[in-house]
């Protein structure tokens, strides 16, 4: 089996990415980052997903991005809610260079494991507009990886696989259903509420709700929405 490193946050997109890699016969080595995020609940989801999909290995990698800061996912500033997501502004939840850092660490692990693929669930459609989710970024990182590693200098290839890059959330939910993903294992909320509830009004919650609505699929987490009706905006 071809070995692949999977960036697994525990969110909807990364879970579908893992399900697809498994379906396509990859031996998956999952890496989850505990980087000081407010929504660290997602790490528990990642651990469950890795077990369900029989990952060969699952590493929770601790890295303190609070020392850099610059994001409402890391500091004491509030996570934006009920934001106008159509204005094209990059929200305060953007974490500086997060995907660059995560992919770089995953690249090092892939080289040690002899894995020639790194899978990531990043996508540009129906997102909060983060610059490091664009296809151009993924292409540039793959080019860098081909130049930077012993593995590739020896003639072996390295691919950064982003199977969801052109899909909207409705398409991602539909693909997850087709792959048999248990959506109750995933976590999308940036602003967790007491009792394990999702807030329902942060960007991530609203994008998730939009996707399930568009796909015509029932979200098993919908019953925990604190303000379910605002997710439809």
Residue 25 tokens, joined: 């016969």
Closest CA to 164 of 132, 117, 120: 120
- Is 206 a member of any domain? no
- Is 159 a member of any domain? yes
The per-residue pLDDT for 127 is 76
- Is 95 a member of any domain? yes
Three-state helix/strand/coil letters over 26-73: CEEEEEEEECCCCCCHHHHHHHHHHHHCCCCEEEEEECCHHHCCCCCC
What does the pLDDT look like over 122-139, one tens digit per residue? Answer: 998 777 789 999 999 999
Rg (CA), the chain: 17
Higher pLDDT, 106 or 85: 106
What does the pLDDT look like over 138-176, one tens digit per residue? Answer: 999 999 999 999 988 877 789 999 999 989 999 999 999
Strand partners, 159: 117
- In three-state secondary structure terms, 211 is helix
The per-residue pLDDT for 45 is 97
- Is 197 a member of any domain? no
The per-residue pLDDT for 67 is 95
Contact 5, 145 (CB under 8 A): no
Q: How far is CA 130 from CA 94, 137, 139, in A?
A: 6, 11, 16
What does the pLDDT look like over 107-117, one tens digit per residue? Answer: 999 999 999 99
Residue 99 belongs to domain with CATH number:
3.40.50.620
- Is 224 a member of any domain? no
Q: Which residue has the tokens 């998956």?
A: 28
Query: Whole domain around residue 43: which residue ranges?
Result: 3-80+90-188
Tell me whether strands 117-119 and 159-161 are parallel, antiparallel or unpaired: parallel
The per-residue pLDDT for 157 is 86
> Residue 223 has what DSSP assignment?
G
228 pLDDT higher than 60: no
Domain count, the chain: 1
- Is 85 a member of any domain? no
Residue 159, H or E segment: strand 159-161
59 pLDDT higher than 90: yes
227 pLDDT higher than 80: no
Q: What percent of the chain has pLDDT over 70?
A: 96
Mean pLDDT of the chain: 92
- First CA to last CA distance, the chain: 44
**Cα(48)–Cα(68) distance, integer angstroms:** 29
What does the pLDDT look like over 69-86, one tens digit per residue? Answer: 999 999 999 999 999 988
């Amino acid at each position: 089996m071809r070995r692949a490193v999977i960036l697994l946050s525990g969110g909807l997109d990364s879970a579908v990415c893992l399900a697809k890699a498994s379906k396509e016969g990859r031996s998956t080595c999952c890496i989850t980052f505990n980087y000081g995020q407010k929504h660290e609940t997602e790490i528990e989801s990642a651990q469950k997903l890795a077990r369900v999909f029989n990952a060969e290995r699952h590493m929770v990698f601790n890295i303190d991005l609070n020392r850099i800061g610059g994001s409402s996912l890391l500091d004491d500033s509030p996570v934006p809610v009920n934001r106008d997501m159509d204005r094209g502004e990059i929200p305060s939840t953007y974490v500086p260079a997060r995907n660059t850092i995560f992919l770089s660490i995953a690249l090092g692990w892939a080289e040690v494991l002899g894995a020639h693929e790194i899978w990531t669930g990043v996508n540009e459609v129906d997102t909060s507009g983060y610059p490091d989710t664009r296809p151009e970024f993924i292409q540039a990182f793959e080019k860098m990886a081909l130049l930077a590693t012993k593995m590739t200098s020896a003639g072996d290839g390295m691919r950064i696989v982003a199977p969801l890059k052109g899909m909207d959330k409705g398409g991602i939910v539909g693909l997850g259903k087709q792959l048999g993903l248990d959506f109750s294992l995933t976590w999308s909320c940036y602003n967790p509420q007491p009792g394990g509830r999702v807030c329902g009004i942060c960007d991530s919650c609203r994008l998730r709700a939009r996707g399930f609505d568009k796909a015509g699929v029932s979200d098993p987490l919908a019953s925990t929405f604190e303000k379910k009706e605002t997710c439809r905006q």
